[in-house]
Amino acid sequence: MTSGDTQPTQPLPDWQPAAEPRRRRRIWPWLVALVVVVVLGIVAWFVAESIARDLVTTTIRDEVVAQLDLPADQQVDVEVPGTIIPQLIAGSLDEVTISSDDVPIGGFTGDVTVTAQDVPIRGGDMGGAAATVTLDEEQLRAIMATVDGFPADTLGLAEPDVTFSTELSLFGVGIPVGVSLTPQAVEGDLVLTPSAIELAGADVSADRLRDQFGVLADVVLKDWTVCLAEYLPAGVTVTGVQVDGEQLVADLDVDGGIVSDPELQAMGTCE
């Protein structure tokens, strides 16, 4: 017999130490380092881009001043759109816009804007360029004063026309005549064509004026032609002209070969 209740003895389970929890690798220091590198790269790119842009625009500005014999303090604005560094690597600037006021052009001055495409950095022809020359009344008078018989001192600008005034004599009496002229470009020349006439303040037709004054009316009814070739390089052609507000605006086409061809760089001539 046995004393008391007894339970059969059970074998103890095998004991193994608990596995240590796997330590997580902290990723954020790598991310921070990557972000820092990227930011530094971006900053370096923008610094280099800023330096390259300043160098390009300053070089262009200095070259324009030297080539046109402008005063050292002449305000010349240079714009190069897009990112500079890839364009420098490619060897040409996609587009360059240069503008300056009161630029001497032959015997007169005007405000000039030139936009050129595919401008080579290491020589060669550019893709082409378009330019505008803007003249106020005083600047246009300087040009028209070179035209024989034109009363340049009375010239005015009233969009869309150029105007002037004169007198026609009838029986010894001077009668005031006002003339509106439509400007246009014809084979590179500036041509002013009468479009409206006032006689003593009243509108009259060309036929009426001719009937009344005969050949004396010719000075009023004639076209006035100004050869502009002598003021511009041979590679530059006037393609359009219009009065915009109180200014005369001429559109010009520039041959891309002008950057390397001496013949295109030489001043044009009038036949």
| Residue 4 DSSP one-character state | S
Q: How confident is the model at residue 41 (pLDDT cuts 50, 70, 90)?
A: low
- Please name which of 109, 108, 110, 112 lies closest in space to residue 99, comparing C-alpha atoms: 112
Residue 10 is predicted with a pLDDT of 56
Residue 165 is predicted with a pLDDT of 93
Instruction: Answer yes or no: is pLDDT of 35 > 80.
Output: no
Q: How confident is the model at residue 23 (pLDDT cuts 50, 70, 90)?
A: low
Q: How confident is the model at residue 243 (pLDDT cuts 50, 70, 90)?
A: very high
Question: Is 134 in a helix, a strand, or coil?
Answer: strand
Span of 12-21, 132-141, 178-187, 255-264 with lowest mean pLDDT: 12-21
Q: Are 159 and 243 in contact (CB under 8 A)?
A: yes
Q: How confident is the model at residue 178 (pLDDT cuts 50, 70, 90)?
A: very high
Residues 6+ apart with CB under 8 A from 268: 229, 230, 231, 232, 233, 234, 236
In the sheet that holds 108-120, the strands lie side by side as 77-79, 92-105, 108-120, 128-135, 247-254, 236-244
Residue 115 is predicted with a pLDDT of 95
Instruction: Answer yes or no: is pLDDT of 6 > 60.
Output: no
| Unique residue bearing structure tokens 């003021």 | 231
Residue 140 is predicted with a pLDDT of 93
CA distance 114 to 261: 18
Residue 21 is predicted with a pLDDT of 55
Instruction: Answer yes or no: is pLDDT of 2 > 50.
Output: no
Chain-wide mean pLDDT for the chain? 84
Question: Is 77 in a helix, a strand, or coil?
Answer: strand
- What is the DSSP track for 213-260? HGGGGHHHHS-EEE--GGGSBTTEEEEEEEEETTEEEEEEEE-GGGGT
Average pLDDT over residues 36-62: 77
pTM equals 0.77
Q: How confident is the model at residue 45 (pLDDT cuts 50, 70, 90)?
A: low
- Please name which of 230, 231, 229 lies closest in space to residue 109, comparing C-alpha atoms: 231
Higher pLDDT, 125 or 8: 125
Q: Which of 38-47, 58-67, 186-195 tops mean pLDDT? A: 186-195
Residue 64 is predicted with a pLDDT of 87
Q: Is 106 exposed, middle or buried (0-12, 13-18, 19+ CB in 10 A)?
A: middle
Q: What is the pLDDT of residues 76-130, one digit of tens each?
A: 999 999 998 888 888 899 999 999 999 887 677 889 999 999 998 877 788 889 9
Query: How big is the CA angle at 66 (ends 135 and 87), to the nearest 5 degrees?
Result: 90
Residues 6+ apart with CB under 8 A from 93: 56, 80, 87, 118, 119, 121
| Unique residue bearing structure tokens 């990557």 | 34
Query: How big is the CA angle at 203 (ends 164 and 157), to the nearest 5 degrees?
Result: 30
Residue 22 is predicted with a pLDDT of 56
CA distance 240 to 188: 8
